[in-house]
A and B are shown apart, each in its own frame.
Chain A
């Protein structure tokens, strides 16, 4: 990867060190130090790592193991890992559950729409901002457009519900042009548009940051050369700017793909209601209701596990595809 991106350095844990001596590498000593020496020399460092490691083990890895309840009978208040094996019963259950396939479809649609709008729009906005000459104006637009990123989802949901209510601004506009008011949140028809719009509103500005940073790294001499060759602004954008920020685009695309199945769980939970379920209910909210409202923990865990596995698969394949095709990958 040529351009650093948000999580670029994050994702490349090289294979864990081996105990035995490995072939000589550029970093000296590492592979030749024995654990005994390392412990004696760095024990104070290791002690600093203990509490955070306990955190990861308890609050991250234990729940991963806790997913075994997807294959076991679980009694709330009983054993953390369930009572007895039931095999694939719960997996079969959701494969034959029509509600599951409905929310699965909703997830795909909502996820695709979100990706379709929330991925390219920050690029467009960044390109437009990049053309602004007045530093003051540019900073002003940036400052304003980052703001929604810092809001609680509860506030965002509150604003959305207010704007789309019968007496809200959207209906005021409809009435102003002579239409009759629409009860946006009282039926499934509008949920997707509203959700995606609010997602765009909240993420577009903040999404420009990394692109703006990448844009500053594009070699200015390329523009001069293109100018001399007679390329107009449009061609310059297409042939120089976009390829220049391609690594950033690819990285963010991969990361977006990874969160595809987890589409805005909290936001959907805040915005939807039984009337909008037909389009609004997604896997994560469905499993939330199955688990937390109906107390069917094992079934919900099975769905959750399925969701996590899909997420992991998606990000792995997106990464592999992009490595093959464009030569950029997270790891």
Chain B
């Protein structure tokens, strides 16, 4: 470093703060650590509370005694839910919708992103514009509802897997990734006689495993968590994903006159049953989260890199 003259002999490769730690600075660091631990505690508390309730007995919850640890520990509620065919049916629905929607989304997003990544393609800007414009202006709830109804997709799986098949954000992340791939490989492959489809399938996709994994996770989590389309387009309880099942449980207990258009609003469900359902719904997400977190991060960062 050129300007490191006045500093002590230690080379200034690290930030100078490391060299001198004033008293104020030490106090700041202690306070900072406490604040951040507070953030962690506040973030985690609701999870802990739900888990504690799920193992507690209903009486203890109603008396307001359950916070961090289960009171009246029991597994009965889990057994009740585990034996409930309606719950498992919803759970299975969620799995089916998530897998189908993710598959469709991936095919559409990958092919379109690949097309958009070809800088020489005539009309490319128009194709990009068609997608990007929808980020800033959309048809709105009512026209979408009318469309899905007119297409006869109400009460079919298509109502939840098709209308949101392409996320423009994901599309642009993939496009940026494809653009960053070396051109030479694709050129060599096409000289060797592969056509466009062959290049995409045999050269580009194998090179894109990381970004594909990220996109699959993005879509899968979004679909697992989604509830509104199903809530809007399904009238039959046997089609509900677990999120709608849970929403009806929650809102049935809190609003006397629920505004939901769907059937199956249950009245007063006990808190521990709600908690167990919440735990089971969120379990797959929490379970994979620590392992896949870095993929999410890399996806966001990829989206952040200007092309």
Q: Which residues of A contact B (CB under 8 A)?
A: 1, 4-11, 13-17, 27, 29-30, 33, 35, 38, 42, 44-46, 48-49, 51-53, 55-56, 58-67, 69, 74, 76-77, 80, 125, 128-129, 131-133, 137, 140-141, 143-148, 150-155, 157-159, 161-163, 165-169, 171-172, 175, 181, 185, 201, 204-205, 209-210, 213, 220-221, 223-225, 227-228, 233, 258, 266, 269-270, 273-274, 284, 287-289, 291-293, 297, 300-301, 304-305, 307-308, 311-312, 315
Contact = CB atoms under 8 A, between A and B. Distances in A.
Interface string B130-167: 11111111111111111101100000000000111110
A9 B307 contact: yes
A193 to B, nearest CB: 15
Interface in B290-307: 290, 293, 296-297, 300-301, 303-307
Contacts of B25: 233
B10 interface: no
B282 A48 contact: no
Contacts of B261: 292-293
Interface stretch (B73-81, B207-215, B251-259): B251-259
B88 interface: no
Interface in B2-60: 3-4, 6-7, 12, 15-17, 25, 28-29, 32-33, 35-36, 39-40, 42-47, 49-50, 53
A17 B125 contact: yes
A236 to B, nearest CB: 9
B89 interface: no
Q: Closest 5 CB pairs between A and B?
A: A63-B139, A66-B143, A304-B140, A152-B225, A44-B196
B98 to A, nearest CB: 12
B183 interface: no
B266 to A, nearest CB: 14
B8 to A, nearest CB: 12
Given A7-B169, A224-B16, A270-B247, A141 B36 contact: yes
Given A171-B64, A297-B146, A63 B140 contact: yes
A1 B306 CA distance: 9
Contacts, number: 339
B50 A301 contact: no
Main SS of the interface on chain A?
A: helix
B250 A157 contact: yes
Q: Interface centre among B16, B122, B304, by most A CB within 10 Å?
A: B122
Interface of B: 1, 3-4, 6-7, 12, 15-17, 25, 28-29, 32-33, 35-36, 39-40, 42-47, 49-50, 53, 61-64, 66-67, 108-109, 111-112, 114-115, 118-147, 149-150, 162-166, 168-169, 172, 176, 195-197, 200, 221, 224-228, 232, 243-244, 246-247, 250-251, 254-259, 261, 271, 274-275, 278, 281-282, 285-286, 289-290, 293, 296-297, 300-301, 303-307
Contact of A8 (B66, B124, B168, B306): B306
B259 A293 contact: yes
A35 B293 contact: no
B145 A291 contact: yes
Nearest to B226: A152
Contact of A9 (B3, B112, B172, B300): B172
A124 B124 CA distance: 40
14 contacts: A7-B169, A11-B132, A48-B196, A55-B166, A80-B150, A128-B32, A133-B29, A147-B286, A151-B225, A159-B46, A159-B49, A270-B250, A291-B145, A300-B141
A128 B36 contact: yes
B278 A213 contact: no
B61 A56 contact: no
A312 B130 contact: no
A33 B124 CA distance: 13
Contacts of A152: 224-227, 243, 281-282
A213 B304 contact: yes
Given A15-B125, A60-B138, A220 B15 contact: yes
A4 B221 CA distance: 25
Given A69-B143, A169-B49, A225-B3, A6 B36 contact: no
Contacts of A288: 141
Contacts of A141: 36, 39-40
A172 B303 contact: no
A116 to B, nearest CB: 19
Contacts of A228: 3, 6-7
Given A35-B123, A48-B197, A210-B300, 13 more contacts: A8-B304, A55-B166, A67-B143, A69-B142, A131-B32, A150-B225, A151-B285, A159-B50, A159-B278, A258-B136, A301-B143, A304-B141, A304-B143
Contacts of B39: 125, 141, 144-145, 204-205
Contacts of B271: 162, 165, 167
Nearest to A12: B132
Contacts of A67: 139-140, 143
Contact of B297 (A55, A209, A311): A209
A301 B142 contact: yes
A317 to B, nearest CB: 13
Contacts of A147: 43, 47, 286, 289
Given A53-B127, A141-B39, A293-B261, A80 B147 contact: yes
Contact of A55 (B45, B132, B165, B306): B165
Contacts of A223: 15-17
B61 A167 contact: yes
A159 B271 CA distance: 11
B285 A150 contact: yes
B274 A52 contact: no
Contacts of B200: 48
A64 B138 contact: yes
A29 B120 contact: yes
B243 A80 contact: no
